């Protein structure tokens, strides 16, 4: 009885001390068995969501939630012959192809958890994922390292389709520390160069997807918008301490001239959407435009913000605090 009372008191203190935004995120988007629900996409789950949830669990020092998330991820997504994750789950795995950003996020979370809670097994599992990222997702073209978005489907005859928001720079920096002989610093350098080349339209913004041909020129691909993927590019640059003035200016100029925060802009036609971006976009813009000498007033999340918007806000706060390394 005494042990039970101590446990109840411990959990009560932990919950009362927990960050309310993290508690709200968990209550809305994390199931009891450890599945993160993408409420903006029919409540599917995916490796990206599991990775974000695991990273946030470490940041908010919540090992119970981390363990639930990792257990579910390992059981339901790490089902391929390699250590990479099937990217999409909708009652079952519906696409066994991986999503490289999800693999990176989960591996990063495991390394952070290993440090935070002194658990070497997490690092061992992360290194297995890194081994298959190196083997299957990193290629070299004309002495440039390229990060494929997935193992299958993005290498064409004369070009490669890239998603530049998959360069999670703070994660790659961590990988370079734990695996110094890996290609991680080369990926950071080449990712930066690719982002500098991927400047389109009036505002010189990157698009969600780009093509990279053998002549090393970039063009927008598939979705021609600066939108729901590319919004993470400035977040990861800032988080990695890599957002210098030339890289920063196109984003700040665009947001200062479009204070209503349109959700997307077509980088070829310069046509902006007629609907507002979710709060998560505003959180990233707030981070990028923040005055380091002034306190940030973060945009407020509400019940209309889905999983992705909410995650971006929490991650922006992490980046501002310089958390995770």
pLDDT (mean) for 198-225:
86
Distance (Å, whole) CA 157 – CA 211 = 12
Number of H helices, E strands in the chain: 12, 10
Closest C-alpha among 186, 188, 182, 134 to residue 164? 188
Q: Please write the tens of the pLDDT for every residue from 218-251.
A: 788 777 999 999 999 999 999 999 999 999 999 9
- pLDDT at residue 5 greater than cutoff 50: no
Q: Supply 41's token pair.
A: 């996409």
Phi, psi of 86 (to 5 degrees): -65, 135
101 catalytic? Reply is yes
216 pLDDT band, cuts 50/70/90, is low
46 membership: H or E segment, kind and range = strand 45-46
Whole-angstrom distance, CA of residue 143 vs CA of residue 155: 17
Task: Tell me whether residue 99 is exposed, middle or buried, using C-beta atoms within 10 angstroms of its C-beta: 0 to 12, 13 to 18, 19 or more.
Answer: buried
Q: Where are the domains of the chain?
A: 20-136, 164-181+197-205+225-319
Distance CA 284, CA 319 (A): 10
Q: What confidence category does residue 10 fall into, taking pLDDT thresholds of 50, 70 and 90?
A: very low
Tell me the CB-side half-sphere exposure of residue 71, using CA atoms within 13 A: 10
| Mean pLDDT score, 276-299 | 93
Tell me what pLDDT residue 17 has.
60
As a whole number of angstroms, the distance between CA 199 and CA 21 comes to 35
What number of CA atoms fall less than 13 Å from residue 311's CA on the CB side? 24
Comparing 20-136 with 164-181+197-205+225-319, is the CATH topology the same?
Answer: yes
Domain covering 164-181+197-205+225-319 assigned CATH 3.40.50.720 in the classification:
no
pLDDT digits (tens, 9 = 90+) for 25-72: 999 999 999 999 999 999 999 999 999 999 999 999 999 999 999 999
pLDDT tens, position by position, 58-67: 999 999 999 9
Region 185-209 average pLDDT: 96
Give 41's DSSP letter: G
Average pLDDT of 106-115? 99
Architecture in CATH of 20-136: Alpha/alpha barrel (1.50)
What pLDDT score does 215 carry?
64
DSSP state of 39: G
Q: Please give the pLDDT value at position 15.
A: 43
Report residue 294's pLDDT band, with 50, 70 and 90 as the boundaries. Answer: confident
How many Cα atoms are found within 13 Å in the side-chain-facing hemisphere of 253? 11
For the residues of 104-154, what is the DSSP string, one character each?
HHHHHHHHHHHHHHT-HHHHHHHHHHHHHHHHHTEEEETTEEEE-SSSSS-
Residue of 19, 61, 62, 101 marked catalytic: 101
pTM of the full predicted structure?
A: 0.93
pLDDT at 210: 95
Q: What is the mean pLDDT of the chain?
A: 92
Tell me the backbone φ, ψ of residue 25, rounded to 5 degrees.
-60, -45
Distances (CA, A) of 153 to 90, 93, 160, 197, 283: 21, 18, 9, 23, 32
pLDDT at res. 292: 79
Query: 3-state DSSP call for residue 2?
Result: helix
**Per-residue pLDDT tens digits for 146-173:** 999 999 999 988 889 999 999 999 999 9
Q: What are phi and psi of 288, to 5 degrees?
A: -70, -35
Position 141 confidence tier, pLDDT thresholds 50, 70, 90: confident
Q: Catalytic: 294?
A: no
In sequence order, which ranges of 30-99 are alpha helices (DSSP H)?
47-59, 63-76
Which of the following is catalytic: 19, 33, 38, 48? 48
Residue 2 has pLDDT above 50, yes or no: no
């Amino acid at each position: 009885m005494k042990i039970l009372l101590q446990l109840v008191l411990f959990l009560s203190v932990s919950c009362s001390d927990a960050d309310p935004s993290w508690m709200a995120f968990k209550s809305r988007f994390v199931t009891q068995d450890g599945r993160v629900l993408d409420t903006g996409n029919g409540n599917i789950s995916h490796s990206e969501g599991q990775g974000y949830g695991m990273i946030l669990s470490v940041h908010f020092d919540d090992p119970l939630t981390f363990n639930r998330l990792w257990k579910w991820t390992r059981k339901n997504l790490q089902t391929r012959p390699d250590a990479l994750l099937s990217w999409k789950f909708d009652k079952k795995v519906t696409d066994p192809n991986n999503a490289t950003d999800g693999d990176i996020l989960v591996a990063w979370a495991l390394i952070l958890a290993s440090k935070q809670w002194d658990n070497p097994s997490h690092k061992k599992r992360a290194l297995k994922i890194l081994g298959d990222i190196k083997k299957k997702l990193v290629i070299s073209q004309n002495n440039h390292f390229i990060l494929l978005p997935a193992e299958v489907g993005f290498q064409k005859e004369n070009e490669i389709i890239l998603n530049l928001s998959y360069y999670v720079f703070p994660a790659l920096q961590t990988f370079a520390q734990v695996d110094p002989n890996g290609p991680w610093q080369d990926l950071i350098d080449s990712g930066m160069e690719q982002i500098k080349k991927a400047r389109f339209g009036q505002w010189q913004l990157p698009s969600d997807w780009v093509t990279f041909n053998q002549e090393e020129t970039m063009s927008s691909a598939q979705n021609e918008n600066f939108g729901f993927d590319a919004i993470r590019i400035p977040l990861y640059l800032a988080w990695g301490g890599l957002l210098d003035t030339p890289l920063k200016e196109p984003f700040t100029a665009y947001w200062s001239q479009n204070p209503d925060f349109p959700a997307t802009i077509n980088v070829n036609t310069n046509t902006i959407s007629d609907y507002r971006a979710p709060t998560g976009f505003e959180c990233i813009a707030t981070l990028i435009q923040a005055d380091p000498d002034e306190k940030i007033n973060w945009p407020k999340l509400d019940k209309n913000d889905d999983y992705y918007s909410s995650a971006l806000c929490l991650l922006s706060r992490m980046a501002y605090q310089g958390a995770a390394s």
